[in-house]
Amino acid sequence: MQIRTLVTLSFLSACIAAPLAHAADTAPPVQAIPAPVAATAPDQAAAIAALAKENALLQEKIKTLESCSISSTDLAVRNSKKLKEITADVRAQRQSMAEFESYVKWMSGHVAGYSKYIQASSVAARFVKFFPIPYAGQASLFTKFVSDSAVSLGAASVSINKYLGTSQQFLSRADALDPNKPTYNQEVSDLVRFADQDLLKGMTEVQDRLTTTSQLSASSLSFLESVNHYVGSGDEALSKAKSFLKSDEKAEKSFLAESTTSLRNKAQVFNGKLQLFDATVKKTAPQIKALVAYDDLARTLDPRFAKK
């Protein structure tokens, strides 16, 4: 019995030991995990120094940004200064408005005064192939030339008077700007908008009307010079239109010559002043648009003062 028990235990030991031995033969070796390498003291010092340097640079940049910061009040002060600079050009423009108005009124009477020559030219144009005056050969347009001129000159007069009122309002408001008033920022902003929406609009409208008046003057001068030439030439075609002219031919020639000279001289002075006016418009228009851009920024920074 004991012998049998020993044999059995020996057999079981062999069965258990065999698989364990096989597993030991096939299992991969276990890799050892390396221990972390501690940073040396010099490396730590270098890293700390680099961080300290970067922090110093950031602090410097922050100070720079703080020193460059701008407020809505700063922008209002800047725009107020520019507005007052624009007033100088506006005052110069206003000095010319009276002369422009005087010229436009004179042109209105002048054009109406030679309507009979337009009628005479219409008759003459039927008999000659080439008549070097505005709308030559188109009789129906001569009367239209006078009527259109009257409308154009009337519109120019209206624009001039309207701009005189608008520009005076701008000057009064600009002169009243006071940085010590609590509503200073608001008043500057409102005046910038007025300059863009009203002053500049009126200014460019006057410019367009006066340019048309200048073109009308050139056409009128060309007309008078042509009629004056034909009155003095004894042209047979024009003699058929004698019923439209004065009976005194010498007086007629003198009147035409004086009218032509007067228009030429007045138009020359007018065109010279118009060039100066154009120069101020070209200078002022971009200045006002720049003011609007700065005012938009001011409203973004502090929208409370710009609320309507």
Would you say residue 116 lies in a domain? yes
Would you say residue 73 lies in a domain? no
What's the pLDDT band for 55 if we cut at 50, 70, 90?
confident
| Average pLDDT of the residues in 292-304 | 85
Would you say residue 35 lies in a domain? no
pLDDT of residue 53: 82
| Average pLDDT of the residues in 62-87 | 81
Lowest mean pLDDT among 48-52, 65-69, 81-85, 285-289: 65-69
- Position 93 pLDDT exceeds 50: yes
Cβ atoms within 10 A of the Cβ of 258, count? 10
| Average pLDDT of the residues in 95-102 | 93
Would you say residue 33 lies in a domain? no
Q: What is the mean pLDDT of the chain?
A: 75
Contact 90, 171 (CB under 8 A): yes
Give the count of domains, the chain: 1
Would you say residue 217 lies in a domain? yes
Higher-pLDDT residue of 141, 75: 75
Would you say residue 39 lies in a domain? no
Q: Write out pLDDT tens, residues 183-206.
A: 999 999 999 999 999 999 999 999
pTM above 0.85, yes or no: no
Half-sphere exposure of 140 (CA within 13 A, CB side): 0
Higher-pLDDT residue of 29, 254: 254
Would you say residue 55 lies in a domain? no
Contact 205, 111 (CB under 8 A): no
Would you say residue 15 lies in a domain? no
pLDDT of residue 307: 53
Q: Write out pLDDT tens, residues 2-12.
A: 444 433 434 44
| Average pLDDT of the residues in 291-299 | 91
Contact 196, 82 (CB under 8 A): no
Lowest mean pLDDT among 75-79, 80-84, 99-103, 232-236: 232-236
Q: Which domain holds residue 113?
A: 79-306
